Protein backbone atom coordinates (compact mmCIF):
# COMPACT_ATOMS: atom_id res chain seq x y z
CA UNK A 1 0.00 0.00 0.00
CA UNK A 2 1.49 3.34 -1.06
CA UNK A 3 1.40 6.24 1.38
CA UNK A 4 -0.40 9.16 -0.26
CA UNK A 5 -2.57 10.80 2.38
CA UNK A 6 -1.15 11.88 5.73
CA UNK A 7 -3.10 12.81 8.83
CA UNK A 8 -1.41 15.01 11.43
CA UNK A 9 -2.88 15.34 14.91
CA UNK A 10 -2.10 18.66 16.56
CA UNK A 11 -1.04 21.86 14.79
CA UNK A 12 1.15 23.26 17.56
CA UNK A 13 4.94 23.73 17.30
CA UNK A 14 5.60 20.21 16.03
CA UNK A 15 2.35 19.35 14.24
CA UNK A 16 2.56 22.47 12.07
CA UNK A 17 6.17 21.63 11.14
CA UNK A 18 5.29 18.01 10.36
CA UNK A 19 2.31 19.06 8.21
CA UNK A 20 4.57 21.54 6.39
CA UNK A 21 7.28 19.01 5.49
CA UNK A 22 4.69 16.40 4.42
CA UNK A 23 2.91 18.86 2.13
CA UNK A 24 6.24 20.11 0.74
CA UNK A 25 7.16 16.52 -0.12
CA UNK A 26 3.94 16.18 -2.14
CA UNK A 27 1.63 14.41 0.32
CA UNK A 28 -2.00 15.34 0.68
CA UNK A 29 -2.10 16.40 4.35
CA UNK A 30 -5.05 16.66 6.74
CA UNK A 31 -4.22 18.35 10.04
CA UNK A 32 -6.56 18.11 13.00
CA UNK A 33 -6.75 20.50 15.95
CA UNK A 34 -9.10 20.73 18.92
CA UNK A 35 -10.36 24.24 18.18
CA UNK A 36 -10.49 26.55 15.15
CA UNK A 37 -8.35 29.18 16.87
CA UNK A 38 -5.46 26.70 17.36
CA UNK A 39 -5.87 25.56 13.77
CA UNK A 40 -5.69 29.17 12.55
CA UNK A 41 -2.55 29.82 14.58
CA UNK A 42 -0.91 26.63 13.29
CA UNK A 43 -1.84 27.31 9.64
CA UNK A 44 -0.45 30.83 9.99
CA UNK A 45 2.82 29.38 11.31
CA UNK A 46 3.02 27.12 8.24
CA UNK A 47 2.29 30.03 5.86
CA UNK A 48 4.98 32.17 7.50
CA UNK A 49 7.56 29.39 7.43
CA UNK A 50 6.95 28.61 3.73
CA UNK A 51 6.98 32.30 2.82
CA UNK A 52 10.27 32.73 4.67
CA UNK A 53 11.71 29.91 2.56
CA UNK A 54 10.51 31.77 -0.59
CA UNK A 55 12.11 35.03 0.63
CA UNK A 56 15.40 33.17 1.13
CA UNK A 57 15.24 31.72 -2.38
CA UNK A 58 14.95 28.14 -1.08
CA UNK A 59 11.46 27.63 -2.51
CA UNK A 60 9.58 29.10 -5.44
CA UNK A 61 6.35 30.99 -4.78
CA UNK A 62 4.48 28.43 -6.89
CA UNK A 63 5.87 25.55 -4.79
CA UNK A 64 4.77 27.33 -1.61
CA UNK A 65 1.25 27.74 -2.99
CA UNK A 66 1.11 24.10 -4.09
CA UNK A 67 2.26 22.93 -0.66
CA UNK A 68 -0.35 25.11 1.06
CA UNK A 69 -3.05 23.77 -1.27
CA UNK A 70 -2.18 20.22 -0.17
CA UNK A 71 -2.93 21.02 3.51
CA UNK A 72 -6.48 20.88 4.85
CA UNK A 73 -7.28 21.84 8.41
CA UNK A 74 -10.07 20.26 10.43
CA UNK A 75 -11.36 19.89 13.98
CA UNK A 76 -13.16 16.67 13.05
CA UNK A 77 -11.37 13.41 13.84
CA UNK A 78 -13.55 11.57 11.27
CA UNK A 79 -11.89 13.61 8.50
CA UNK A 80 -8.78 11.39 8.93
CA UNK A 81 -10.72 8.22 7.96
CA UNK A 82 -9.00 7.60 4.60
CA UNK A 83 -5.44 8.54 5.61
CA UNK A 84 -2.64 6.05 4.89
CA UNK A 85 -0.49 7.29 7.77
CA UNK A 86 -1.46 9.30 10.85
CA UNK A 87 1.27 11.12 12.80
CA UNK A 88 0.28 12.31 16.25
CA UNK A 89 1.84 15.47 17.74
CA UNK A 90 -0.53 16.46 20.56
CA UNK A 91 0.23 17.33 24.17
CA UNK A 92 2.73 15.04 25.96
CA UNK A 93 0.14 13.26 28.07
CA UNK A 94 -0.41 9.52 27.97
CA UNK A 95 -4.16 9.60 28.63
CA UNK A 96 -4.76 12.18 25.88
CA UNK A 97 -2.67 10.24 23.38
CA UNK A 98 -4.22 6.86 24.23
CA UNK A 99 -7.82 8.05 24.12
CA UNK A 100 -7.23 9.86 20.81
CA UNK A 101 -5.62 6.77 19.24
CA UNK A 102 -8.40 4.51 20.54
CA UNK A 103 -10.94 6.75 18.77
CA UNK A 104 -8.80 6.92 15.62
CA UNK A 105 -8.44 3.16 15.52
CA UNK A 106 -12.19 2.88 15.06
CA UNK A 107 -12.25 5.63 12.40
CA UNK A 108 -9.20 5.19 10.17
CA UNK A 109 -8.94 2.43 7.54
CA UNK A 110 -7.45 -0.73 9.00
CA UNK A 111 -4.31 -0.86 6.80
CA UNK A 112 -3.15 2.64 7.69
CA UNK A 113 0.00 3.12 9.78
CA UNK A 114 -0.10 5.03 13.07
CA UNK A 115 2.87 6.98 14.45
CA UNK A 116 3.48 9.07 17.55
CA UNK A 117 5.92 11.97 17.81
CA UNK A 118 6.10 11.58 21.60
CA UNK A 119 9.34 12.78 23.20
CA UNK A 120 9.34 10.58 26.28
CA UNK A 121 6.42 8.17 26.48
CA UNK A 122 7.03 4.64 25.26
CA UNK A 123 5.43 3.84 21.91
CA UNK A 124 4.36 0.51 23.41
CA UNK A 125 1.98 2.04 25.92
CA UNK A 126 0.37 4.27 23.28
CA UNK A 127 0.16 1.49 20.65
CA UNK A 128 -1.67 -0.73 23.14
CA UNK A 129 -4.64 1.64 22.96
CA UNK A 130 -5.18 0.34 19.41
CA UNK A 131 -5.68 -3.00 17.72
CA UNK A 132 -3.01 -2.33 15.10
CA UNK A 133 0.10 -2.68 17.23
CA UNK A 134 2.08 -4.23 14.35
CA UNK A 135 1.40 -1.10 12.26
CA UNK A 136 2.38 1.35 15.01
CA UNK A 137 5.79 3.10 15.17
CA UNK A 138 7.43 6.11 16.74
CA UNK A 139 8.33 8.93 14.34
CA UNK A 140 10.20 11.42 16.49
CA UNK A 141 10.86 14.66 14.63
CA UNK A 142 13.03 17.52 15.94
CA UNK A 143 12.29 21.19 16.38
CA UNK A 144 12.28 23.18 14.11
CA UNK A 145 10.95 20.38 11.89
CA UNK A 146 11.60 22.10 8.53
CA UNK A 147 15.29 22.48 9.44
CA UNK A 148 16.29 19.48 11.55
CA UNK A 149 17.40 16.52 9.44
CA UNK A 150 16.81 13.70 11.92
CA UNK A 151 13.78 11.54 12.62
CA UNK A 152 14.07 8.73 15.17
CA UNK A 153 12.10 5.72 13.91
CA UNK A 154 11.09 3.71 16.94
CA UNK A 155 10.28 0.03 16.93
CA UNK A 156 8.32 -1.78 19.63
CA UNK A 157 8.26 -5.53 20.24
CA UNK A 158 5.08 -5.60 18.15
CA UNK A 159 6.06 -3.40 15.15
CA UNK A 160 6.31 -5.51 11.99
CA UNK A 161 9.39 -5.48 9.70
CA UNK A 162 7.19 -4.14 6.91
CA UNK A 163 5.94 -1.23 9.02
CA UNK A 164 9.48 -0.34 10.06
CA UNK A 165 10.66 -0.35 6.43
CA UNK A 166 7.72 1.74 5.27
CA UNK A 167 8.32 4.25 8.07
CA UNK A 168 12.02 4.55 7.15
CA UNK A 169 11.13 4.97 3.44
CA UNK A 170 8.58 7.63 4.37
CA UNK A 171 11.20 9.55 6.38
CA UNK A 172 13.55 9.44 3.36
CA UNK A 173 10.77 10.71 1.11
CA UNK A 174 10.60 13.84 3.30
CA UNK A 175 14.30 14.47 2.68
CA UNK A 176 15.13 13.53 6.28
CA UNK A 177 17.49 10.94 7.74
CA UNK A 178 16.09 8.20 9.93
CA UNK A 179 17.79 6.33 12.75
CA UNK A 180 16.17 3.17 14.06
CA UNK A 181 15.87 2.78 17.79
CA UNK A 182 14.39 0.46 20.33
CA UNK A 183 11.40 1.67 22.29
CA UNK A 184 12.59 3.21 25.55
CA UNK A 185 11.65 6.48 27.21
CA UNK A 186 13.49 9.35 25.48
CA UNK A 187 14.80 7.12 22.63
CA UNK A 188 18.38 8.20 21.78
CA UNK A 189 18.40 11.98 21.65
CA UNK A 190 16.28 12.87 24.67
CA UNK A 191 17.98 10.23 26.81
CA UNK A 192 21.15 12.30 26.37
CA UNK A 193 19.71 15.81 25.86
CA UNK A 194 17.13 16.04 28.66
CA UNK A 195 19.57 15.56 31.61
CA UNK A 196 21.78 18.28 30.08
CA UNK A 197 18.89 20.73 29.77
CA UNK A 198 17.66 20.00 33.30
CA UNK A 199 21.19 20.46 34.64
CA UNK A 200 21.30 23.89 33.01
CA UNK A 201 18.18 24.82 35.03
CA UNK A 202 19.86 23.49 38.19
CA UNK A 203 22.86 25.67 37.36
CA UNK A 204 20.51 28.70 37.29
CA UNK A 205 18.93 27.60 40.60
CA UNK A 206 22.37 27.32 42.18
CA UNK A 207 23.54 30.68 40.82
CA UNK A 208 26.48 29.18 38.93
CA UNK A 209 26.19 31.96 36.37
CA UNK A 210 23.59 34.27 34.88
CA UNK A 211 21.11 32.93 32.30
CA UNK A 212 22.95 34.79 29.55
CA UNK A 213 26.38 33.58 30.68
CA UNK A 214 25.32 29.93 30.98
CA UNK A 215 24.00 30.11 27.41
CA UNK A 216 27.04 31.97 26.12
CA UNK A 217 29.37 29.47 27.80
CA UNK A 218 27.78 26.45 26.11
CA UNK A 219 27.45 28.19 22.75
CA UNK A 220 30.97 29.52 22.53
CA UNK A 221 32.64 26.84 24.65
CA UNK A 222 31.09 23.82 22.96
CA UNK A 223 29.97 25.20 19.60
CA UNK A 224 26.30 24.46 20.24
CA UNK A 225 23.93 26.45 17.98
CA UNK A 226 21.89 27.58 21.00
CA UNK A 227 22.62 27.77 24.71
CA UNK A 228 20.57 25.34 26.85
CA UNK A 229 18.22 27.96 28.31
CA UNK A 230 17.47 29.41 24.87
CA UNK A 231 16.84 25.86 23.66
CA UNK A 232 14.50 25.20 26.61
CA UNK A 233 12.48 28.31 25.70
CA UNK A 234 12.44 27.08 22.11
CA UNK A 235 11.21 23.55 22.97
CA UNK A 236 8.64 24.88 25.46
CA UNK A 237 9.00 24.72 29.24
CA UNK A 238 5.60 23.03 29.64
CA UNK A 239 6.60 20.29 27.19
CA UNK A 240 10.01 19.93 28.89
CA UNK A 241 8.32 19.62 32.27
CA UNK A 242 6.00 16.85 31.02
CA UNK A 243 8.96 15.07 29.40
CA UNK A 244 11.09 15.23 32.58
CA UNK A 245 8.21 14.03 34.72
CA UNK A 246 7.61 11.04 32.44
CA UNK A 247 11.32 10.15 32.18
CA UNK A 248 11.80 10.43 35.96
CA UNK A 249 8.78 8.19 36.52
CA UNK A 250 10.27 5.68 34.06
CA UNK A 251 13.90 5.60 35.24
CA UNK A 252 13.69 6.89 38.84
CA UNK A 253 17.03 8.60 38.31
CA UNK A 254 17.74 12.06 39.68
CA UNK A 255 19.17 13.27 36.37
CA UNK A 256 15.65 13.17 34.87
CA UNK A 257 13.86 14.84 37.82
CA UNK A 258 12.20 18.16 36.91
CA UNK A 259 13.87 20.97 38.91
CA UNK A 260 11.50 23.05 41.10
CA UNK A 261 12.27 26.20 39.08
CA UNK A 262 10.99 24.51 35.91
CA UNK A 263 7.74 23.53 37.63
CA UNK A 264 7.25 27.04 39.02
CA UNK A 265 7.87 28.69 35.66
CA UNK A 266 5.24 26.46 34.05
CA UNK A 267 2.80 27.17 36.88
CA UNK A 268 3.45 30.89 36.34
CA UNK A 269 2.61 30.54 32.63
CA UNK A 270 6.22 31.17 31.52
CA UNK A 271 6.34 28.41 28.94
CA UNK A 272 9.07 29.89 26.75
CA UNK A 273 8.98 31.49 23.34
CA UNK A 274 5.44 30.31 22.53
CA UNK A 275 3.96 32.07 25.59
CA UNK A 276 6.04 35.25 25.20
CA UNK A 277 8.20 34.59 28.24
CA UNK A 278 10.45 31.86 29.62
CA UNK A 279 14.05 32.31 30.67
CA UNK A 280 14.00 35.24 28.25
CA UNK A 281 11.32 37.82 27.37
CA UNK A 282 9.88 37.54 23.83
CA UNK A 283 6.97 39.94 24.31
CA UNK A 284 8.40 42.45 21.84
CA UNK A 285 9.34 39.83 19.14
Q: Which residues bind ligand NAD (CB under 6 A)?
A: 9-15, 32-34, 38, 89-92, 96, 100, 117-119, 141-143, 235-236, 239, 243
Q: Does 146 bind ligand CAA (CB under 6 A)?
A: yes
Query: Which stretch in 4-12, 127-135, 143-151, 263-271 sits in contact with ligand CAA by CB under 6 A?
Result: 143-151
| Distance in Å, CB of 101 to ligand NAD, minimum | 10
Question: Regarding beta strands 85-88 and 150-155, do their DSSP bridges make them parallel or antiparallel, or are they unpaired?
Answer: unpaired
The site for ligand CAA, by CB under 6 A, has a size of 17
Tell me whether strands 136-141 and 150-155 are parallel, antiparallel or unpaired.
antiparallel
Q: Is 27 left (phi over 0), alpha (psi -120 to 50) or beta?
A: beta
Active site residue 190: yes
Q: Closest approach of Cβ 58 to ligand CAA, in Å?
A: 6
Burial class (CB in 10 A: 0-12, 13-18, 19+), 283: exposed
Least distance in angstroms from the C-beta of 274 to ligand CAA: 12
Cα 32 from Cα 87, distance rounded (Å): 10
Among positions 8, 85, 86, 231, the unique one binding ligand CAA when judged by CB under 6 A: 231
Binds 49, which of ligand NAD, ligand CAA, none (CB < 5 to 8 A, cut-off by type)? ligand CAA
Where does this chain touch ligand CAA (CB under 6 A) — which range of 4-12, 25-33, 140-148, 258-266?
Answer: 140-148
Yes or no: say if 271 and 263 are a contact pair by the CB < 8 Å rule: no
Neighbour-count burial for 261-276, b at 16+ CB within 10 Å, e otherwise: ebeebbeeebbbbbbe
- The answer to whether the beta carbons of residues 70 and 43 sit under 8 Å apart is no
Q: Checking phi first, is residue 142 left (phi over 0); if not, alpha (psi -120 to 50) or beta?
A: beta
Per CB under 6 A, contacts with ligand CAA among 91-120 are 119
Interface residues with ligand CAA (CB under 6 A)? 49, 52, 56, 58, 119, 142-144, 146-148, 190, 193, 225-226, 231, 235
Which positions are catalytic? 119, 140, 152, 190
Amino acid sequence: MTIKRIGVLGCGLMGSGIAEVCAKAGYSTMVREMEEKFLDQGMERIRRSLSKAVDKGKLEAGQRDEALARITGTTDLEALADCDLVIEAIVENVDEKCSTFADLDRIVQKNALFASNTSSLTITQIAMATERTERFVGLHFFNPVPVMKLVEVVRTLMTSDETMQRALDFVNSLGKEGVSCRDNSGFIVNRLLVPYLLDAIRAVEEGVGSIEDIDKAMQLGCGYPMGPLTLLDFVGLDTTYYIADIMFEEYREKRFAPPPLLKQMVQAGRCGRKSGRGFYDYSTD
